[in-house]
């Protein structure tokens, strides 16, 4: 029975290399969504437990109730504790957040290490409970994506299926973080995979829905922000909406430009740069406590309208400053939470100014705050649909959709075309060009090696004597030449037959042949992994081996070029 079960699983695993294996991927989506949601919810509960212990209440958000000295000391102390932990780790184990996930999709073919997720969990809990200016979604995405990736690695699934699993873990984590399943799906497709495909979309939907069910099963059924169901009073407000978009795009550009300008700080000792971020956040929080933490309670306050214009101006500037510095020094927190606070603040400010200028035509104060949240998040992450859906699902107000779309267009144009800024995760990346923007690299990462391999080959021993008659039976186009059972090099069958012609008995090692160098890879490899291995080893062919070590196929570098050209012709 065990052997039968293993054979069935192996067939399931092999089926995942096919691009149309939607049903199989949906099963993985269900598993990844369940595990990621439970892991992320556990992470959030740990933040609340530590926050309560440190005095910021059971929600880990009530920093306003602390004294100024308590707030400053908490922010500085938390930053230094994180610096101490990360300093004790080796460099590869320090990588955290969405940037780490995207980089490993590129450089490690979706194989996220568990040790980094454990690091992210510990330092993320400390950072958010101690009031660093960041969001919980960045650590949550890292944790959820790693859980899903480890699941795939445990079952030795193909590299291209790990990409889908990571997207599933990402969508599940966003769904669990905010109870926003649709936003989670779109975020995973826009930010992590940077593409929309049916085979990727369906399992990600399954994962997000599964995470939402689990979240609601634990009692999180209400909208996070109880905003009035406001709507535009008239189309005459559209110029104000466009102004809000320009303001949000400018604010997002201030964050990314500041992060880029502060890049030299990354060369400082970790305790110094983290200490600077903690001291800055703590110093500002002594006067404006709303800059601390994830900002959920701050957004709720802004939506209620119980704030002054002067306070909104100072809060917007303070949140932009603390978020920029926190991101620039590499603090292990996310940027979605701060972007929502910045957007809500700017939206509330624009809404109040509009109400003062034309009170008879002005909409509810909360409408502009919600639209500002959607726009700032969508612009700073280059995820417009995810931003809009997040705001809609957080407030359960569909009336914000049209003004949010209009505002998003204005904000994106200002951010990208006028101020020429890039999304925050691209600014933080160390590579010059992300593979997400290169369609060829996306194709090679998403295609299993079976898309271009050749399974017709013959294996021959190098030093064994052969006769001319034996060679006449070879029908394959290429041969693996082995020594003591180990592959040494490959040759073209045509070259072999020509070199052996006229000889009765001979050994292949004695023939004058064009010998092609090779490298071996397991059958889970993506085409991108094969291409990288060929370049790294200066090899001309890759032999693909199965789980028991047998050669099952080969890939020539020219086969990869043919795959690329075929995809280009098909559009």
d(CA 127, CA 293): 8
β-partners of residue 479 are 458, 491
pLDDT at site 13: 59
Cβ neighbour number for residue 254 with a 10 Å cutoff: 19
User: Exposed, middle or buried by CB within 10 Å (0-12, 13-18, 19+), for 52?
Assistant: middle
d(CA 375, CA 241): 11
Contact predicate 242/345, CB 8 Å: no
Contact predicate 56/233, CB 8 Å: no
pLDDT at site 569: 73
- Identify the three-state secondary structure at position 553: strand
Phi/psi-derived region of residue 20, left when phi > 0, alpha when psi is between -120 and 50, beta in every other case: alpha
pLDDT at site 349: 94
pLDDT at site 6: 47
pLDDT at site 42: 95
Of 432, 262, 254, 378, nearest to 330 (Cα)? 262
pLDDT at site 435: 54
Q: Please report the DSSP string for 456-511 in residue order.
A: -EEEEESSSEEEHHHHTT--SSEEEEEETTEEEEEEEHHHHHHHHTT-SEEEGGGS
d(CA 476, CA 212): 53
pLDDT at site 50: 94
pLDDT at site 7: 46
pLDDT at site 432: 40
Domains, the chain? 12-223 (1.10.3080.10), 235-269+280-432 (1.10.3080.10), 448-569 (3.10.580.10)
- Dihedral (CA of 265, 266, 272, 276) sign: positive
d(CA 101, CA 139): 10
pLDDT truncated to tens, each residue of the chain (571 aa)? Answer: 444 444 444 565 555 655 567 888 888 899 999 999 999 999 999 999 999 999 887 777 889 889 999 999 999 999 999 999 999 998 888 889 998 998 888 788 889 999 999 999 999 999 999 999 998 889 999 999 999 999 999 888 888 889 899 999 999 999 998 888 999 999 998 888 877 777 778 999 999 999 999 998 887 766 566 666 666 777 888 999 999 999 999 999 999 999 999 989 988 999 999 999 999 999 999 999 999 988 888 888 888 877 899 999 999 999 999 999 999 999 999 999 999 999 999 999 999 898 888 776 666 778 899 999 999 999 999 899 999 998 888 888 888 889 999 999 999 999 999 999 999 888 876 444 455 667 777 788 888 898 889 888 989 999 888 887 777 678 888 999 999 888 999 999 888 888 888 788 888 888 888 999 999 999 889 999 999 999 999 999 999 998 888 999 999 988 998 888 887 776 5
pLDDT at site 17: 55
β-partners of residue 440 are none
d(CA 267, CA 186): 35
The owner of tokens 């926003």 is: 180
> Cα–Cα distances in Å, from 345 out to 1, 251, 327, 376?
62, 11, 19, 10
């Amino acid at each position: 029975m065990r052997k039968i079960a293993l054979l069935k699983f192996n067939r399931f695993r092999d089926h995942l290399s096919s691009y149309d294996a939607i049903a199989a991927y949906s099963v993985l989506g269900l598993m990844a969504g369940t595990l990621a949601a439970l892991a992320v919810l556990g992470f959030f509960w740990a933040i609340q437990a530590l926050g309560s212990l440190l005095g910021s209440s059971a929600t880990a958000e009530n920093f306003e109730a602390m004294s100024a000295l308590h707030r400053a000391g908490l922010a500085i102390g938390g930053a230094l504790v994180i610096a101490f932990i990360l300093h004790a780790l080796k460099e590869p184990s320090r990588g955290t957040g969405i940037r780490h996930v995207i980089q490993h999709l590129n450089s490690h073919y979706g194989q996220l290490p568990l040790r980094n997720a454990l690091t992210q969990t510990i330092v993320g809990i400390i950072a958010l409970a101690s009031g660093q200016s960041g969001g919980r979604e960045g650590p949550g995405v890292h944790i959820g994506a790693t859980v899903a990736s480890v699941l795939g690695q445990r079952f030795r699934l193909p590299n291209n299926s790990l990409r889908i699993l990571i997207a599933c873990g990402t969508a599940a984590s966003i769904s669990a973080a905010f109870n926003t399943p649709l936003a989670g799906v779109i975020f995973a497709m826009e930010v992590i995979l940077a593409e929309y495909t049916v085979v990727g979309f369906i399992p990600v939907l399954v994962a997000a829905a599964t995470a939402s069910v689990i979240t609601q099963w634990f009692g999180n059924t209400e909208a996070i922000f109880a905003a009035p169901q406001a709507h535009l009073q008239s189309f005459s407000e559209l110029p104000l909406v466009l102004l809000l978009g320009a303001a949000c795009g400018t604010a997002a550009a201030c964050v990314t430009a500041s992060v880029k300008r502060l890049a030299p700080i990354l060369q400082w000792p970790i305790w110094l740069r983290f200490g600077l971020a903690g001291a800055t956040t703590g110093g500002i929080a002594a006067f404006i406590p709303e800059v601390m933490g994830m900002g959920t309670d701050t957004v709720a306050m802004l939506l209620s309208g119980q704030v002054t214009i002067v306070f909104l101006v100072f809060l917007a500037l303070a949140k932009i400053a603390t978020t920029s510095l926190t991101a620039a020094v590499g603090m292990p927190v996310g940027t979605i939470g701060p972007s929502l606070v910045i957007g809500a603040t700017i939206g509330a400010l624009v809404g109040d100014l509009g109400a003062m200028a034309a009170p008879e035509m002005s909409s509810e104060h909360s409408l502009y705050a919600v639209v500002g949240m959607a726009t700032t998040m969508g612009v700073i992450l280059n995820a417009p649909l995810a931003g809009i859906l997040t705001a809609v699902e957080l407030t359960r107000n569909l009336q914000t959709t049209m003004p949010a779309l209009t505002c998003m267009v204005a904000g994106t144009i200002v951010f990208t075309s006028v101020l020429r800024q890039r999304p925050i995760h691209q600014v933080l990346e160390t590579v010059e060009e992300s593979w997400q923007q290169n369609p060829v690299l996306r194709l090679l990462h998403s295609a299993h090696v079976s898309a271009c391999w050749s399974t017709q080959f013959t294996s021959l021993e190098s030093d064994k004597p052969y006769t001319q008659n034996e060679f006449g039976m070879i029908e394959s186009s290429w041969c693996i030449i082995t020594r003591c059972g180990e592959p040494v090099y490959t040759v073209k069958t045509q070259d072999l037959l020509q070199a052996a012609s006229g000889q009765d008995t001979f050994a292949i090692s004695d023939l004058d042949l064009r010998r092609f160098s090779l490298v071996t890879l397991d059958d889970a490899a993506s085409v991108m992994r094969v291409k990288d291995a060929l370049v790294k080893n200066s090899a001309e062919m890759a032999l693909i081996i199965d789980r028991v070590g047998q050669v099952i196929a080969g890939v020539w570098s020219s086969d990869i070029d043919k795959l690329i050209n075929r995809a280009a012709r098909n559009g």
